[in-house]
Chains A and B, each alone.
Chain A
Amino acid sequence: MKRRRGLFRHSAETGVGLDVGALAPMVDMMTLLLVFLLRTYSTDVAPAPTAGPFALAGTDSEDARRGGIEILLSVDAVHVNGQRIAAWAHIGEEGTIEPLYQMLLQSRPKKRAEIHADASVPWRRLQRVLGTAQAAGVEQIALVGAHSGAM
């Protein structure tokens, strides 16, 4: 008769206890989960506006963040280093974005900026932010995205 094998078994030699055969796959699963988490998770907390929806665009880039001035472009406003500085509704259609320009001048001597733009922000707005950052003397500008690469 075939003997049933379970997580807990009772035998004369070992008594009631855990079956080694059942523990090994559990260790495998935990190791896989750990590797998955280490590969996909990040300790970087993605900045987000205090209100409203915000979703970063996906990217295949593997380059890690290197710090700098944090510019966040949500659907309705521009934020710098966590501070809301202007709403798109109150920003003119052309030219540099004055509040952003002033804020970037205050952030000197930082020469690098990372832009966290909502996936739906149109290029005409992003372009104005890039132009303003360049005008304020920011030399390195990077666009931040959510890494969407496969394991």
Chain B
Amino acid sequence: MRLFREEAMVEADIRPTLLGVVTLLFLLLFFLMSTSAGQRLAVVDLRLAAPGQAPPLPHSGLVKSVHVTLGERAATVEFEVATTDIGASSTTRELRRIEVPERDGILDGVALSAAIATVHEIDRSQEQAEVEPGPDVSTATVLQVVDIVRGVADAPRFPKVSLR
């Protein structure tokens, strides 16, 4: 007697299972669309200088401070770099400036990002930067610039951004 008999193979009907999965997905979709909003909100924690608060201690790395002055359409990135002459007895500081002009009537985010990346490359240990928006700069531009200066989670630049 043979253990396995030779019979014509009958393929299992998986259509009811697939239909069940599709129905479940439909229900999940409807549930999601009825309970959620089409916009995900995120927050940017602001660091504000409190009145009477002492300024932070000077950074020990090459870039001592980073300051972004923000206009309606243009920006200026100023940063202090420590320059030490081999014959000098003390470290001197040099203020450098990168101008970011407007592009097509708006702030050139790509150029600003490149400028910030340049400063970050000089001293990766510096985490603080200051952004000083002009009075008429919109909230959208302020948030855009704070995002650029902070960098993303995978590639942070100056995560501790303070607004002035």
Report if A and B associate in a common complex.
Answer: yes
Interface residues of A, Cβ cutoff 8 Å to B? 14, 17-18, 20, 23-24, 26-27, 30-31, 33-34, 37-38, 40-46, 56-66, 73, 114, 117-124, 126-127, 130, 134, 140-147
Give chain A residues whose Cβ lies under 8 Å from the Cβ of B122.
none
Contact assessment for B140 and A58 in the assembled complex, using a CB-CB cutoff below 8 Å: yes
Contact assessment for A147 and B142 in the assembled complex, using a CB-CB cutoff below 8 Å: no
Q: Determine the main DSSP class of A at the interface with B.
A: mixed
B6 within 8 A of A: no
- Residue from the list A33, A40, A58 in contact with B143, Cβ < 8 A: A58
New contact pairs (20) apart from A37-B36, A63-B43, A121-B138, CB-CB < 8 Å: A20-B18, A30-B22, A30-B25, A34-B29, A37-B29, A37-B32, A40-B40, A41-B40, A46-B37, A58-B143, A60-B152, A62-B153, A119-B138, A130-B163, A141-B45, A143-B46, A145-B43, A146-B39, A146-B40, A147-B39
B48 within 8 A of A: yes
Interface residues of B, Cβ cutoff 8 Å to A? 13-15, 18-19, 21-22, 25-26, 28-29, 32-33, 35-46, 48, 50-51, 133-140, 142-144, 146-147, 150, 152-153, 163
Contact assessment for A37 and B33 in the assembled complex, using a CB-CB cutoff below 8 Å: yes
A103 to chain B minimum Cβ distance, whole angstroms, is 19
Contact assessment for A59 and B42 in the assembled complex, using a CB-CB cutoff below 8 Å: yes
